[in-house]
Structure 1
């Protein structure tokens, strides 16, 4: 038993391979699991002069987050390090390092299940330092905080995918109010700037000076439909088949014969109506 414990201690003392600049934190799904999964963490930093959506020195960047680990679960695992403000999971890191607009929980692209990255914001910088020194393994699913998996997780995800009509209506109303407010501000700003010369003496001309377009009447709509019908008739393929060629030629010959007979009758009539007859 003593030799066994020494082997276990020697195995635990072996350095866990991790990417440069990251610290590995072992986690397990439950107590029954033998192998450990590793989270790779480091302090989130950005280049000087750039803005970030997360505060400096208080944000922990986490790699290799498994699909079964939710934001609530990750917050519970790191809560011993200090109070946490927010946890956000993403499919890949943000490369723009700029503030983002809040996403809607109803109108967003469907996430592909897989390993993710996370941004954990602590209230104090000491929380990041404590997380970098955190030892494991940490249990994801416990008796007091079970994590759903398999069929139970699929059922839960399906129920969460069905939106609440009342919550959806409130979000749409809020978005439309913000949109109408933005359009009104843009229109008022354009009215103020219209006709005012800039620094170089140029005047901005907009379409606001045009007369309002009158609504189309029923007669005008019928004329437009008739015009479109004639355009489509001109675009139709004529004489596409051989029988169409034969019929067209026969109709043309019939029209020529008819016109010839009409001309003969007209000439006879003109001759009969002549009054001056020299012979």
Structure 2
């Protein structure tokens, strides 16, 4: 962020493939001077494109206080009104890490299921058991990046075109205008809220732990069922691996399955030629040797017969 120039000067429109977009910061009590932050935009071009790549914009030098609400407001109010579908910030950390399992979370308990398979999958396959968060707003590192996904490709192209037009015309874009009441405040209020959120309600914390353990138990049961099914499937020779003792732990079951898979891989490596095992190859070689011996004996009999009929055989 640099101080805003007193007079209008020529502004660089592009840097490499990026469009330069100046963002105006009004004076604040903590910094009573107007300033300008430069945001860089271009069409997203990852090494491995996806079906969403044509409707994505890649942003560099994202403001540290940027939120999804800020970027939605930026494109809706200043850059063509394109509808933003989602925003992915670089290095965004999920503070409350949970577990994904086909278990209804506490928030969805008591709600009626919506009809349709898609809605049912969305409701049942979700992250549950997340610990309460201790920050009400995420901040980013300086010079961070983000990928903005629009609802369609024309919206992304229009937003990039409007950014070039706004930079060329010198139109002032005020960062965060109109969203002050929609995002959590910064400064001392942020840390006061952080201090309060560090001590969550015991009931909410216990509910989060219970949801996590319920989901974890469901995952373990599903995994044990799948391992049991795999262990009961005969291998290529028609044998089923039987283990001694009641090994009920997950690690033991996974070890058994790994050993069985390793044995199958070893047997497959022993295959030679047209899917013959080694003992089959040995039998085939014996048969070939016996065939050669029989052929040699047959040739000897033919030579003796020729000698009896024509006399001594002379070499050519």
TM-score of the pair, normalised by structure 1? 0.53
What is the match of residue 288 of structure 2? none
Check 1:64–1:161 CA distance in 2 against 1; reply closer, same or farther (3 A cut). farther
Q: 2:55 aligns with which of 33, 37, 58?
A: 58
**Cα separation, partners in 2 of 1:140 and 1:202, compared to 1, 3 Å:** farther
Per-residue deviation, 1:151: 2.3
1:36 matched to which residue of 2? 36
Q: Distance in 2 between matches of 1:188 and 1:71?
A: 42
Give the gaps of 5 or more residues in structure 1: 1-6, 93-100, 213-279
Show the 5 A alignment for 1:16-31. 16=13, 18=15, 20-30=16-26
Superposed displacement of residue 84, structure 1: 1.8
CA contact (8 A) 1:25 1:137 kept: no
Counterparts in 2 of 1:191 and 1:132: CA distance versus 1, 3 Å: same
State the partner residue of 1:91: 91
Residue 75 of structure 2: which of 74, 78, 89 is its match?
Answer: 78
Please list the CA deviations of residues 40-94 of structure 1 after superposition, one character each: whole Å capped at 9, or x if unmatched.
Answer: 122234345x7x6x833222222211222222222211224312222232338xx
Question: How has the CA–CA distance of structure 1 residues 56 and 35 changed in structure 2, closer, same or farther, with 3 Å as cutoff?
Answer: same
Shift of the 83–193 alpha-carbon distance from structure 1 to 2, 3 Å rule, reads: same
C-alpha spacing 1:39/1:178, structure 2 compared with 1 (3 Å): same
149-158 vs 56-65, greater mean Cα deviation: 149-158
Equivalent runs, 1:130-279 vs 2, <5 Å: 130-133=158-161, 134=163, 135=166, 137-142=172-177, 145=180, 148-159=185-196, 163=200, 168-169=205-206, 171-199=208-236, 203-206=240-243, 209-210=245-246
Task: State the alpha-carbon separation in 1 of the partners of residues 191 and 246 from structure 2.
Answer: 58
Contact 1:30-1:141 at 8 Å conserved across structures = no
Tell me which of the two structures has the higher relative contact order, counting C-alpha pairs closer than 8 angstroms and 6 or more residues apart. Answer: 2
Report which of the two structures shows the higher radius of gyration computed on alpha carbons.
1
Q: Does 1:114 align with 2:108?
A: no
The CA deviation string for residues 93-139 of structure 1, in whole angstroms up to 9 with x for no partner, is: xxxxxxxx979574799977522322222212222112212225421
Q: CA deviation at 1:27?
A: 0.9
| Structure 2 unaligned spans of 5+ | 1-6, 93-125, 249-316
The two structures, once aligned, show a CA RMSD in angstroms of: 4.0
Aligned position for 1:243: none
Name the SS of the counterpart of 1:139 in structure 2. Answer: coil
Distance in 2 of aligned mates of 1:161 and 1:83: 36
Structure 2-normalised TM-score? 0.47
Q: Measure how far apart 1:37 and its partner are.
A: 0.6
**Alpha-carbon deviation of 1:195?**
3.8
Q: Retained in 2: the 8 A contact 1:69–1:140?
A: no
Aligned residues of 1:29 and 1:139 also touching (Cα < 8 A): yes
Deviation larger for 27-36 or 76-85: 27-36
